[in-house]
Structure formats: structure tokens, C-alpha cells
Amino acid sequence: MRLATAEDMRAYGARLAALLRPGDLLVLSGPLGAGKTTLVQGLAEGLKVRGPITSPTFVIARVHPSLHQGPPLVHADAYRLGGDLEVDDLDLDASLDESITVVEWGEGLVEGLADDRLEIHIDREAGDEARIVTVRGVGPRWADTPSDPLEG
């Protein structure tokens, strides 16, 4: 789908949050500046977690507790990680069952954390602020999910 502005990306994330439940894993990919963190800001807004939501590139992972007795949001960034061993060191699987876990730059690194996940790829449209978002559901949890989970 095509999202014209950063606000559209945040709004999409907020709507997507309504479909999520504890144990869900989202793997975000796309080039630098594509809007991965902007999407997470929308997810956080929809999940009503404590912020602010910023890119965790240097701290690697942040836990954002719920403000309304919902699941916490674990927001990780695998950009600086060198491989599977460093991902294991984050212990993302320790809180996976009770959290919603979002990993930026996690493609090829975190898929083993869960049989079910949403893989979200964000691309920039040339010469425009617009972004193209592609969503792929993996596993039984997302088996009947259309390419846009908000359609189904």
C-alpha cells in the first residue's frame, strides 16, 4: 500500500496496533529513512505505551511499558548487530510471550524467535515523501491475513 506522509505512516501503525496481542513479533525492513521508526511511533500510540519512541540504534532495545494495563512494547534495532549470537544476547525471547516485539533491521536475524510474525517492508517512493508498505504474515496466527492486515 502507498502511504503519502509520515502522519499516514503513524496512523497506519496506530490502526495496526489494534490487531496485535502479546507474543506478536513484527520484523521491519527497508532502507535508512524509510519510516520504520515512524511506524513504531504509530504502533506505540495505538498500544498506549510510555514513550517517547525514538530509534534504538545505539541502545539496541527499549521496553515501553503500557499506560493502560496492556502489553509492553519491546522496540529493538538490529542494525548494529553482527549476527545471531548478538541477537541471542538481547534475550528478546525472554519477554516475547507477554510483549509485542518490533525489530527494525531484523530481517535474516530474528525470524527464529517466533513461528508467527508480521514481516513489514517499507520503501521510499522516488522524489516523494510517500512510502510503499508491504506486509507479509508468516505462520498460523497470520495465515488468513491479506497483504494489508487492516483489510481483513
**pLDDT for 43-82, tens place per residue?**
999 999 998 888 766 556 788 999 989 999 999 888 766 5
Specify which residues 3 forms β-bridges with: 131
pLDDT, average across residues 26-53: 94
Q: Is the pLDDT of residue 128 over 90?
A: no
Least trusted range by pLDDT, from 36-45, 57-66, 120-129: 57-66
Q: Please give the residue that has the higher pLDDT: either 95 or 84.
A: 95
What number is the average pLDDT over the span 83-106? 72
Q: Do the Cβ atoms of 130 and 54 come closer than 8 Å? A: no
Query: In this model, does residue 21 exceed pLDDT 80?
Result: yes
Burial class (CB in 10 A: 0-12, 13-18, 19+), 5: middle
Q: Given a cut of 90, is residue 87 above it in pLDDT?
A: no
Mean pLDDT of 107-122: 90
Per-residue pLDDT, 53? 86
pTM comes to 0.88
